Each structure stands twice: as structure tokens, then as C-alpha cells.
Amino acid sequence: MPRVMGVNLVAVLAGAVAMYFIGFVIYGLLFQEVWTQQLLINHGVVSAEEAASLSGAALMAELEAIPGAMAPPVAMGVGFIVSLVTAGGMAAALKFLKPSSLGATVGYAVLFWLAFAVTTLSYNVVYYSESVINFGLDVVHLLLGYVAAAAAIHALDGKAMREQSAAPDAGATA
């Protein structure tokens, strides 16, 4: 399988697809209405009462009123690139850490999630008054996404990552 700097590109792509799919399920299927209502309230586009009365196409049409919002197709494309970069970073970190099992890989994914994703997302609640509901959806999305991406990377490349070793030091003796 093609590798760049020792990272399996097919595994990275599979991890990104897994992460992106989880986002689709959470934001596109299960919680689209709640997430969109909260987003509109956060940006001051509608009041909480108005948001509660909106649904379906009318709710989605209101998204265009958010200043500086990307068009949905552009946002989805950029979102996939974010997933791809995240999966690539995770694959590089896992290659370095060489987890011995799927459980260890998932453990590292949870550590990455807690140490980087949750703490970074917390800034939006602390400094930008983001909805706690959307924060909760975001952290659940990223927890499931990190775990799914790590599991996909492990499934496609775990053994090879463990077997790869760094080049011996030139001055090392046997």
C-alpha cells in the first residue's frame, strides 16, 4: 500500500472516511435540527423561541443568514479535508507509538481526543459563548470519530506500523 513518510495513505483515507461518516450521522441524520437551531441561536440569527418553531427546509434556509458562513457544499468539502488531516496526524502518531493491539490503539485515540479535541473545543464555550448542547454534540462526534479513525488505521496498517523500525544510528554498535 502506498506510504508517505511511513504512513499508509489508504489507512489514512479509510480513517478520514470513517470520521466523516460519523459526522454525517450525528449532524446530518440524528441531531441536524437541534444542532442547526443551536447554531442559529448562537449567532443571533433567531431567538430560542423562533428556533424552536423552525424545522426542515425553513430551518436550513436560515443558515444562510449567519455572517461569513460557508456554502454547505464548500463546508462539507473543507470538513472532509479536516478529517483527512486529522486521520493523517493520528496515523503518524500511532506509527511513532506503535500500539500493540486494537485496544491500545483505541486508548491512544481517546487520549488524543481528551488532550487535544475536547480542550480545543472548550475554548468556544469559554470565550465565544458556544451552546453547551453543540459542544456536547461536537465532543461526542469527535470521540466516536477519533476511535473509528484509529480503528480503521489499525485494521489496515496496525501490524505494519508495529513492525516498522527506525533506521539504526550510524554510530550504534551491535
pLDDT 10s digits, 115-157 = 999 999 999 999 988 999 999 999 999 999 999 999 999 999 9
**Residue 26: which of 114, 120, 170, 148 has the closest Cα?**
148
Q: Residue 3 is inside which H or E element, if any?
A: strand 3-4
Residue 46: other Cβ atoms inside 10 A = 17
What's the grid cell of residue 30?
Answer: 440524528
Q: Please report whether residue 109 resides in a domain.
A: yes
Q: Please report whether residue 171 resides in a domain.
A: no
What integer pLDDT is reported at residue 164 of this predicted model? 64
What integer pLDDT is reported at residue 172 of this predicted model? 45
Range of the structural domain that residue 125 is part of: 3-163
Q: Please report whether residue 174 resides in a domain.
A: no
pTM of the predicted structure, to 2 decimals: 0.88
What integer pLDDT is reported at residue 72 of this predicted model? 87
CA atoms 116, 66, 54, 56: torsion sign:
negative
What integer pLDDT is reported at residue 170 of this predicted model? 46
Q: Enumerate residue ranges in the chain where pLDDT < 50.
A: 165-174
> What amino acid is encoded at 165 in this protein?
S
What integer pLDDT is reported at residue 163 of this predicted model? 75
Q: Please report whether residue 168 resides in a domain.
A: no
Q: Please report whether residue 169 resides in a domain.
A: no
Number of domains in the chain: 1
